[in-house]
Amino acid sequence: MSHQTEADRVLRSLGRACLEHDPDVLRSVLDRVGDKWSLILIGLLDKGPMRFTELLRTAPGISRRMLTLTLRSLERDGLVKRVIYPEIPPRVEYEVTPFGRTLSEPVLALTRWAADNQDTIRANRHAFDRAAGSDDLD
């Protein structure tokens, strides 16, 4: 198959996905998996349930507010489950749902790809910025 034909096939496939499915839901799901905090939290929770403060301490640079908003969105999408234990004080844990685990594998594969290729990406950015006369090297 020629490159142009393959490109046409991919574009038609993307167009069909947008036409055959609710574009708002499709876009929001892609936004969710493209959000760095969602990916990090899914990866952290893939190892097992964690409390809010553990996630806050473990997720590098996330604010309390962003953690709350991201967990709420992941819970709303059915990717994460919030479990409240009736203790004093109440204990709350978050865990990846079975549905969320179906996202873990592609997310971890994307993370591995990014880690494996970070030196190449950094070199490409540096070469591009140098050619463009930009001082922004990352």
Class for the domain spanning 35-133: mainly alpha
Q: For the chain, how many residues are written?
A: 138
- Alpha carbon 43 to its chain centroid, in Å, reads 9
pLDDT score recorded for residue 90: 87
Which tokens hold the place of 104? 């873990």
> What pLDDT is attached to residue 53?
94
What is the band of 20 on the pLDDT scale with cuts at 50, 70, 90? Answer: low
pLDDT at position 36 is 80
Q: Where are the beta strands (DSSP E) in the chain?
A: 50-51, 80-85, 91-96
Instruction: Report the pLDDT averaged over residues 81-88.
Output: 93
Closest among 30, 28, 29, 54 to 41, alpha carbons compared: 54
Residue that wins the pLDDT comparison between 80 and 135: 80
- Counting residues of the chain whose pLDDT is more than 90, the rounded percentage is 48
CA distance 70 to 55: 11
Output the pLDDT for position 7.
62
Confidence category of residue 60, pLDDT binned at 50, 70, 90: confident
d(CA 132, CA 129): 5
Beta-bridged to residue 83, according to DSSP, are 93
pTM for the model: 0.69
Instruction: Identify the top-confidence range among 34-43, 47-56, 95-104.
Output: 47-56
Give every strand in the sheet of 91-96, ordered side by side.
50-51, 91-96, 80-85
CB 48 within 8 A of CB 116: no
Q: Residue 103: how many CB atoms within 10 A of its CB?
A: 21
What confidence score (pLDDT) does residue 85 get?
Answer: 92
pLDDT at site 19: 58
- Residue spans per domain, the chain: 35-133
